[in-house]
Amino acid sequence: MSTVVRTRGYRALVALAAPIAGIQLAQVALTSVDLAMLGLLGVTAVAAGGLAILLYNQIRTMCVGMVTGVGNLVAAAAGAGELRTGTDGLDERAREEIRSLLRSALLVATLTAAVGAAVLCGLAAALPLLGQQPEIVSLARAMMFALAGGLFPMVWLNVVRQFAVGLRRPGSLLAVTLVSIAVNAALNGAFIYGWAGLPELGVTGIGLATTLVQFFTLAVFASAVRRDPLLRPMVSLALWRADPAVVRRVVRHGTPICFTYGSEAAITSIATMLMGAFGPAMLAASNVANQLAYIVYQVNIGLSQGSSILVSREVSRGERRQAPVIARQAFTLSWSFMAVVSLGYLVVPGALLWPFLHDETDAVVLGTASTLLLFAVAQQYSKGTQNILVGLLRGLGDTVSGLRCTLVGYWAVGVPAMFLCAYVFAWGGWGVWAGLCLGFAATAVLLGRRFAGSVTGVAR
């Protein structure tokens, strides 16, 4: 058994997964604070702002997917370097390969963010064609325009993060997360009420505040990386010196991940559009329930990426048989965490929903959201499991199976089931969430079978 897995076990996975989940939560905390403060502007603002945030997350997720594989490429290069030196140190060949990966990934990230911003603005302009009510369209469109610029620092941050994670130096973002949340909340209030002489921008100001905080988070994390003595010699931000061959490698590796993540986010976006057809109250309740589930999901993203990096490193060291061991550790941690959260959904739903829905006029929305949390229990287990499986397959060098399985699970099962349950069975908004859960569950089963087939004969 590999030394890393034998001596560290769960500790090695948690050491990687916790900081990754931290930076994911930092990103989600921004939109969670946004959604909570939208509640100060009324149910229509929650519905419109939640729609804008969800579509932003759709594009954000695809942009992140384009550079997520950089961590695996860096881990593989580092593992190969360690194998050549026979120690935990890297030779110059590995360092130069990692520098080239970082430069190339930053170029890919910049181009990806430009495309993502253009698409988000295009979706904002097309909102009237998506069946949304006029008052929601007006508010959501302005917020989406304000959020678009934040895609650039967000994707750059993810490249730097993948670089650090691939070298097993993810760092701590707890302090950054807390400060970012506080700064975001202050800017939200300033733009809502016109504090400190700033204009009163309402919903639009909330999107602008999030974009400004994205730049702040990037600056803080990049500064920490530059101070790390192990990482600093390999930091190269000269993206204009990117090697075209390495750029193509990053794109080839990232494209299936991008569309896998995009497919996952798209089914949720479609569900939100369908929920909007059942009125502002149902849409607002769905936005809040989905945001709570999305917060929990970030822990699974951390476990997915952490386990993926560990598998990539073990494979590069000739230890492919460790993949099932790492998988068991990831699932044990994930399912235990989700069991605790699910208990909260069942026992104290009102307390969890209060930050988003705390006005007496939100009673109908609160009751609807409380019921939707029951669906969120099923959703988070199936969605979390499938995300970890995608990461494990990526660690084995398979980025295509995730895309294939999501295309079948989401589009052949999930989307038809949403329409069938909502309209044919006349379950309305409840049917939309039922179909969404079926799509995630089907995808998890398909991915589980694919991963089991990939490690057959190596798990003993």
**What's the rounded Cα separation, in Å, for the pair 48 and 136?**
5
- Count of positions (residues) in the chain: 460
Q: Along the 460 residues of the chain, how does pLDDT read in single tens digits?
A: 444 444 456 888 888 787 778 777 776 777 778 877 887 888 788 888 888 887 888 898 899 989 988 988 998 888 888 888 777 778 888 899 999 999 999 999 999 999 999 999 999 988 888 777 788 888 899 999 999 999 999 999 989 988 988 888 876 665 676 788 888 889 988 988 888 888 888 888 898 998 998 898 888 888 888 888 888 889 888 888 899 999 999 999 899 989 988 888 788 878 888 888 888 788 888 888 887 888 888 889 889 988 998 898 888 877 888 889 899 999 999 999 999 998 988 888 888 887 777 654 467 778 888 888 889 888 889 999 999 999 999 989 888 888 899 999 999 999 999 999 999 999 988 999 999 999 999 999 999 999 998 887 444 3
DSSP secondary structure letters along 176-236: HHHHHHHHHHHHHHHHHHTGGG----THHHHHHHHHHHHHHHHHHHHHHHHH-TTTGGG--
CB 284 within 8 A of CB 367: no
**What's the rounded Cα separation, in Å, for the pair 395 and 153?**
26
What residues contact residue 91 under an 8 Å CB cut-off, 6+ apart?
Answer: 81, 84, 85
- Which tokens belong to 455? 């490690």
- The candidate with the shortest Cα–Cα distance to 284, out of 33, 54, 130, is 54
**What's the rounded Cα separation, in Å, for the pair 285 and 368?**
6
- The candidate with the shortest Cα–Cα distance to 253, out of 149, 162, 327, 322, is 162
Q: How is the chain split into domains, by residue range?
A: 3-455
- Which tokens belong to 175? 């302090």
**What's the rounded Cα separation, in Å, for the pair 143 and 140?**
5
> Is this structure's pTM higher than 0.85?
no
- Which tokens belong to 240? 């204009």
State the amino acid at position 106 in one-letter form. L
CB 257 within 8 A of CB 404: no
